[in-house]
Amino acid sequence: MESSFALLQKNVLDRQAWRTREEPLIAIVTWIERTYHWRRRQDWLGRLTPIEFETIMTTAVELAARPLSPDRAAVPLPD
């Protein structure tokens, strides 16, 4: 956790002087969303990044939502 704060300090907070309290808050959230969180591999996602996991899951959901082809729909069910 301490290394995360060190990266935040080095890459965001120490790079400029802030005029308002809102500016560093926006910069922190932006940094987390764009750089740190989305690119880090997660154990609970099978060592995938959140973006990789989301891509796989979106593709799987889209495939599952597709209707059956007309040929498969016409196959009669067994009695």
Listed by start position, the domains of the chain span 7-12+20-62
Instruction: Determine the pLDDT at residue 22.
Output: 94
Handedness of CA 28, 33, 35, 37 (dihedral sign): positive
Q: What is the pLDDT of residues 53-66, one digit of tens each?
A: 888 888 887 878 87
Q: What is the pLDDT of residues 14-55, one digit of tens each?
A: 888 999 999 999 998 888 877 765 656 678 788 887 778 888
Residue scoring higher pLDDT (3 or 17): 17
Confidence of residue 74 (pLDDT cuts 50, 70, 90): low
Q: How far apart are the first and last CA of the chain?
A: 61
